[in-house]
Amino acid sequence: MATHAYLRIESVVGGCTDRHHEGWIEVRSFTWSETSGAGAGGHAAVSGRVTASPLVVTADVSVASPRLVAACARNERFDVAELEVVQAGEDTARPFVRWRLEDVVVSGYAVAAEDFLPVDTVTLRFGTLRFEVVPLRPDGSPGAPVTAEVDFTRPG
Per-residue model confidence as pLDDT tens digits over 36-88 = 876 665 555 455 678 889 999 999 999 999 999 999 999 999 999 999 999 87
Is residue 92 over pLDDT 90?
A: no
Q: What is the structure's pLDDT at 73? A: 98
Residue from 87, 28, 21, 15 nearest 57 by CA: 28
Residue range 27-44: mean pLDDT, rounded: 79
Find all residues with CB under 8 Å of 19, minimum gap 6, and list them.
93
Q: Where are the domains of the chain?
A: 3-34+45-151
pTM surpassing 0.75? Answer: yes
3 state DSSP class of 63 = coil
| Residue 142 per-residue DSSP state | B
What's the first-to-final CA gap in the chain, in angstroms?
37
Q: What is the CATH T-level fold of the domain 3-34+45-151, as seen in this structure?
A: Pnp Oxidase; Chain A (2.30.110)
